[in-house]
Structure 1
Amino acid sequence: MTNTTTTTPTETETKFATQLFDALRTQHPLNAADFADVVADEDAAYRVQDHLTTLKNQPVGGYKVSLTSEETQKMFDAHNPLYGAQVQDHFLAAPAKVRLGQLMDPLVEVELVFKAKETLSPEDSLTDLWHKTTVAPGLELPDSRFADWFPSLAKNLVVADAAVGGLVVYGEERDTDQQFDSVDAVATVKCELTHDGETLKSGVASEVLGNPLNSLHWLVGKLAEQGRVLTKGQRVSSGTFVLPPHLTAGHWQATFDQQLGQVDLDVTND
């Protein structure tokens, strides 16, 4: 069951994916205005993303879901979330160390990171997903191959650029149905983001489509539309609790309540 509208890029889309890959490899950002008319619609953007993923020539470790709050959807003139495939080595176990030089223009988001314990199906209910996953506290570092991308990059360019995927740092993983008494409890998690000991942001999981499990449910359904499945072992960074600040050097920590724990990240200037 392969959706050819998603998997067969045009010559123009293939060229665009190659330019994105070159920008990633050389860390020379692209000018968004030069690509305003390259992707006609969201399907085209996902075809570009798919070819970009192929060029990376690495296993897909999972996905990130973006535009999961009303606020961010308005910023990018969108009405639905979007996803980006993330290669395996872009998921880092905490505590992690990252050099600013590894990334181009990164932000910092606090998220719940789910991992599939078995292949997930679009027929799965939220309760099924609660049973079939682990959950971990997370810090996501969105990044883009376009200069001056946040908060004004066109939505289809965000999609093409792997949903501005950077790195995902995840903490201790526990069975979701052991960590939370119910599906609804997942929505009540609170988090505080600090940088060098100073609190920058606080947020709650309900910012993510009302419940981060809704984000995972959306992703599984969207992948199914494209003839794809979320398989055992793949992780999903499900959406940010807060409007993200820019990543800078220093010690970052996200502390989650409900005994989820914390995620520590040290960022150096080199």
Structure 2
Amino acid sequence: MADHVRAAAEALLGAYRSMTPIDPLTPQFADAPLSVAYEIALAQVEDWEKNGDTVKGHKVGLASRAMQRQAGVDQPDFGHLTASMFHLEHAPIPSGSFIQPRIEPEFAFVLGKPLQGPGVTVAEAAAAVDFVLPALEIVDSRIRDWKIGIFDTVADNASSGGVVLGSRPSRLSDVDLRLAGCNLHVNGELIATGAGGAVLGSPLNALVWLANTVGPLGVTLEPGHVVLPGSMTRAVPIAPGDTVVATVAGLGSVTAVMEGETK
């Protein structure tokens, strides 16, 4: 199995380099447990770190029913966020670094204390959050035509692509994460709406799930790291030249600008 894990990781790493997606992995690993998919993802993270990238946080994927229905899965997953994935708000984001990008509006938790499961409670998770920001996550799939099952998206680092953080930090006590509504505009057109409660009932629940899932793997969520708990809406396809704005009640807005001809 170790050889198969390495081969799958190399195929996904090759997709990043060539910008050419690969066929789904699920048929090759039909009888493999989900832990094997995480081994494939971790092998890629190790390769990135060897080449100078660093882990700056984690994301919870497929945390809302809307996203699970869109992807055809029935459970969340997680991925790693590395330094190279973070892009400045309003600064042009290289469109050529993505294969088939989509965008999602999210909260971004910035941790002030370490958090390690198992056994993490909502109270402990809330106490570990220093502040929260509005965020846009660019998801991308190295799997052809987004034909992913849960094994594929886990192996593909939870379809991680890029992150844009807003610049107005807020305390958890200043916003009701469950009731905070979100409007997602692409090129000035309202494309989707949602609320924080779509994310496992509360985005804090997603943070708890993440800490308790990665803890047994020996992973601690570190101070200063960013955690994306999941999208408040369905994922929306984006193209070069698109300008995307997410406005979250109580948190303000965040803007992502894709490099290319303005539309």
2:68 matched to 1:73?
yes
Q: Structure 1 residues 67 and 232 mapped into 2: Cα distance closer, same or farther (>3 Å)?
A: same
Unaligned residue ranges in structure 2 (runs of 5+): none
| Match of residue 193 from structure 1 | 184
Superposed, 1:36-185 pairs within 5 Å as 36-38=27-29, 40-57=32-49, 58-122=53-117, 123-133=119-129, 134-149=131-146, 152-172=147-167, 174=169, 176-180=171-175, 185=176
2:6 matched to 1:14?
yes
TM-score by length of 2: 0.90
- Whether the 8 Å CA contact 2:70–2:234 is kept in 1: the answer is no
Deviation at 1:268, TM superposition (A): 2.1
- Whether the 8 Å CA contact 2:6–2:40 is kept in 1: the answer is yes
Identity %: 26
Listed one character per residue, the Cα deviations across residues 38-63 of structure 1 (whole Å, up to 9, x for unaligned) are 36121000000000111112211111
**Aligned counterpart in structure 1 of residue 219 of structure 2, from 220, 225, 228:** 228
3-state SS of 1:12 partner? helix
Q: Structure 1 residues 91 and 155 mapped into 2: Cα distance closer, same or farther (>3 Å)?
A: same
**Aligned counterpart in structure 1 of residue 23 of structure 2, from 7, 31, 49:** 31
2:236 matched to 1:240?
no
Deviation at 1:223, TM superposition (A): 0.4
Q: Structure 1 residues 127 and 232 mapped into 2: Cα distance closer, same or farther (>3 Å)?
A: same
Amino acid of the residue matched to residue 84 of structure 1? G
Q: Which moved more, 1:153-162 or 1:244-253?
A: 244-253
Q: Which moved more, 1:213-222 or 1:35-44?
A: 35-44
Q: Distance in 1 between matches of 2:21 and 2:72?
A: 23
- Whether the 8 Å CA contact 1:130–1:176 is kept in 2: the answer is no
Deviation at 1:77, TM superposition (A): 4.6
Deviation at 1:72, TM superposition (A): 2.9
| Match of residue 248 from structure 2 | 256
- Whether the 8 Å CA contact 1:13–1:38 is kept in 2: the answer is no
Deviation at 1:175, TM superposition (A): 5.0
The count of residues paired between Structure 1 and Structure 2 equals 254
Q: Structure 1 residues 35 and 127 mapped into 2: Cα distance closer, same or farther (>3 Å)?
A: closer
Q: Distance in 2 between matches of 1:214 and 1:53?
A: 25
Amino acid of the residue matched to residue 144 of structure 1? S
3-state SS of 1:120 partner? coil
Q: Distance in 1 between matches of 2:187 and 2:71?
A: 30
Q: Structure 1 residues 127 and 92 mapped into 2: Cα distance closer, same or farther (>3 Å)?
A: farther
- Whether the 8 Å CA contact 2:105–2:232 is kept in 1: the answer is yes
- Give RMSD over aligned pairs: 1.8
Listed one character per residue, the Cα deviations across residues 133-177 of structure 1 (whole Å, up to 9, x for unaligned) are 12110101100111201xx41110100000000001111253533
Amino acid of the residue matched to residue 95 of structure 2? L
- Whether the 8 Å CA contact 2:67–2:231 is kept in 1: the answer is no
**Aligned counterpart in structure 1 of residue 210 of structure 2, from 200, 219, 228:** 219
TM-score by length of 1: 0.88
